[in-house]
Structure 1
Amino acid sequence: MSEVCVKVALRVRPLLPLEVLQNHKVCLRIVPDSNKVTVGSDRLFSFDHAFGPTATQDEVYDSCVQPLVETLLRGDNATVFCFGQTGSGKTYTIGGGNLGEEGGIIDRVAENVFSLLGEKNSDGVETKVRVTYLELYMEQLQDLLESHNTDKELFISKNNKGNTVVVGAKEIVVTSAEELLSVVEAGNVLRHIKTTGMNEHSSRSHTILTLQVVQAFPHNNPSLKPSCSSKLCLVDLAGSECARKRNKDSRHNESAHINRGLLALGNVIRVLATRAQNNCKIPHIPYRDSKITRLLQDSLGGTAHTLMVACVSPSHHSVAETVGVLQCADKARHIRNCPTATSTH
């Protein structure tokens, strides 16, 4: 079983118009013709990809996400998750509901998956795409494909193949990019999004959009498995928010839950990176410290091809938070996963 490292892409957003008016200074820069970034005058970080403020949505997708879609259709699991401080551009990067040039990763995945599946269908491969869309808010899982008035509980569990699943989540079969994005838009209406001290439209929850692709291959080709099932998880993590910058009201509890979950995620990344760097066995990985780390267990140290998109602000006002994101992303690059193709038989 071959190992692959988690890939990390850094994305630096532009200074916002208000930040320019308030004379914010740029505190980090991409080193030209490289995947390195400098912070201040003495800190240098290297990543698998580095995108500056002028990078387009197409550049981000084509460079590091599109290969994962090809991986998905070969039968392997894959994950893309956006990580960073609130207001750093995560939700813009992940996208959802916009097929134009400003559309993000979800929009481009929708088009790419169904385009490639159309080619496979013409070769006699029968395919089906199932979608689940979940929100983790205040450590409670909610189904974004169901009204929040629906009285049902969701449970994180392992299936008979050892993969993480959410029992009770509603699945919808979609047959086109437009249909998939319609489902995402309907789910986004139910998301917890509020104004905070740092972001006018801050995501107050983590969201996990999962595409499960089932492929049944022609029986007259003995070189192919009869059928396989693989999944792609697209995760928009809520942004961390420094206590001195967040609103002093009921949102304090939301921020506390978000930061505790992200702290648990950082601990998992640190332990897995230490294990990989020192080539040692660590008996306990603290996945169970939060629900978001349990949900990402297949993606970090598990069986998926994983890409972390680390989003940061260039403003000197956020330099401490930015360095924290860069340090966590640097550790994530050392994590090793063991992707395996999954047969349904």
Structure 2
Amino acid sequence: MSHATSPVLVIHGGAGVIKREMNPAREKAVRAAMTKALQDGYAQLKAGKPAIDAVTAALTVLEDDPNFNAGRGSVFTHDGKNEMDAAVMEGDTLSAGSVAGVHRVKNPILLARAVMEHSSHVMLVGDGAEEFAKEQGIALVDPSYFRTEERWQQLQRALKEDEQKKPHADLETAKHFGTVGAVALDSQGHLAAGTSTGGMTDKRWGRVGDSPIIGAGTYANAQCAVSGTGWGEFYMRTVAAHEICMRVSMLGEPLQRAAAEVINQEIPSMGGNGGAIALDGNGTIAMPYNTEGMYRGWIGADGVPHVAIYDDEPDPSNHPPAPASASSSSE
């Protein structure tokens, strides 16, 4: 596809236990950050830049904002560390880059892009990824940069529950959410996707979720781009992002149906939950989720940023409310 297209950018800031009782100041801050992410990303598209530029511009805004579980504000592992993962993919070339288990990379999404563009590899992890970051001049910071008191307290509560061996359902579910992601369609008709996360509160043994795994939490081809957010183990087992795009590109399913079938049927049927954003080459948007809410935003031809959080706020998917049974995860 090389004909001129109306650019579109879609973002998410995580799905999960998002309740109306959210502190109004926090809600305002979240909406402001998402609006800025949309504006910064869309400015790239309006300037005729490729989709990948919009994806990384939007995601650096969310990584820098402590209200999201990515970059600054990432959750803590069982050992009290921050371990971050990220991935990017370009649909027209199938080029991809990802990083996992980094501790000092200020913007993991930029390192994932550097892996894609400046190495012969797709995925780098841990110390090696940080060594590569140094070589590429990617900003490294002291690990204390990522710490927020709120995330630290979440870990303390989780550790207390570990001792009592009594997981609290809400907290157990909340552990699995809070990724940020973006998908974009540029004026050349090319798609790109990116996802960044701080992982899971109280995670152990260097656990890695779906976000940096190409095809699981992040995927783009010439017809479709997807970024997921949810219980990563289920997105990996269903190769969720890839499956949505295969349904669109190989089976010819409409994007919204393909995304809803994977996110709202297949994953919950296995005991998982979460959401995703998806975009096709025509600029059709899908935002399925089966939780109480999903931080989501979109900007298209009118250049107006739209942000929604709760289930009763309209979005381009117009998805039906989640069935009650899908709103909390099994342990």
Q: TM-score, normalised by structure 1?
A: 0.34
Whose strand proportion is higher, 1 or 2?
1
Whose helix proportion is higher, 1 or 2?
2
Q: Bigger radius of gyration, 1 or 2?
A: 1
Q: Which has the higher contact order (CA 8 A, sep 6+)?
A: 1
Q: TM-score, normalised by structure 2?
A: 0.35
